[in-house]
Structure 1
Amino acid sequence: MQTSQRGMDLIKEFEGRELEAYPDPGTGGDPWTIGYGHTGSDVYPGLTITQEKAEQLLSEDLKYFEKGILGCISVPLNQNQFDALVSFAYNLGVGALAESTLARLLNEGNYQAAADQFERWVNAGDEPMPGLVSRRHVEKELFLST
């Protein structure tokens, strides 16, 4: 499976687009981020990119997350469920998803209980972060839609 345009638009909406590298808000440094939430050793202070490059990085990053979803989820998914999981993993990491109760419940075939887990992943530190609350709500709704 591949992320649909709807899934890409969701990621773009919540990640935002920055054409100049910026530090992690929590650390003031690593990981540096650019484009639509792209991080890695290729991102460093002072780096600037074009809109075209931001789109290219997103496309390349999505391949990694798509492969990760297919590697840790063993039940059938519709396109909306897949897109919601890619957005979730894009934000939190494939490892976090793979080790989560959400993935365990989903792999047991309990789609509703898995969907209810999205809303548990909203904290930054010990406090709910409004942007994450909104993102998880949208991801859950997408996951449950047909």
Structure 2
Amino acid sequence: MKQFESLQLTPYYCQAGLKTIGYGHVIKPHEMSYLDNKITLEDAEKLLNADIAEVNCVLYKYCHSSLNINQQVALISFIFNCGSTAFKNSTLLKKLNQNKHLEAADEFLKWIHVKGKKLKGLVKRRQIERAIFLGRNTTEN
């Protein structure tokens, strides 16, 4: 995840316009105290670990297909970035649950826009996630 998410110890707005801190942690309504303070590296690590655990739960709640470790890693990165609601309603998940993993891999490449704008960073991220999902060497991309 750290490959894609830069560390920010003070609050900022991500490209989607969400209040964020740490390694891409979206600040929830009950966490508004983060808006007034700088966090520590240790805090950022704790938030990231909690976010990954939450995303992992979402993955296994909705995905009923058998996944290898590469597929899990790619999907956790995808869900972390796009959000659980987007994942739950995605064709990517539908393809996974139909055990159409090659078709599911191609769905990563469709998630490259924020507010209607194509972002180079998302294009690269989705290419890497897809390569990881397929068990390919990501240094070739």
TM-score (norm 1): 0.85
- Residue 25 of structure 2 is aligned to residue 38 of structure 1: yes
CA RMSD, 1 decimal: 1.4
What amino acid does structure 1 have at the position aligned with 2:100? N
Q: Corresponding residue for 1:113?
A: 103
Structure 2 regions of 5+ residues with no counterpart?
137-141
Aligned to 1:145: 135
Secondary structure class of the residue paired with 1:34:
strand
Partner of 1:85: 75
Deviation track 1:81-139 (CA, whole Å, cap 9, x = no partner) reads 00100100000111111110010011101000000000000012223100100100000
Residue in 2 aligned with 1:5? Answer: none
Name the SS for the 1:76 alignment partner. coil
Supply the distance in 2 between the matched residues of 1:87 and 1:47 (Cα, whole angstroms): 27
Task: Give the 5 Å matches for 1:1-146.
Answer: 11-27=1-17, 31-39=18-26, 40-41=28-29, 42-43=31-32, 44-145=34-135
- Tell me the secondary structure at the aligned position of residue 36 of structure 2: coil
Q: CA deviation at 1:64?
A: 0.6
Name stretches of at least 5 consecutive residues in structure 1 with no aligned partner: 1-10
CA contact (8 A) 2:25 2:47 kept: yes
The higher relative CO (CA closer than 8 Å, separation ≥ 6) is in 1
Quick one: percent identity of the two aligned structures? 37
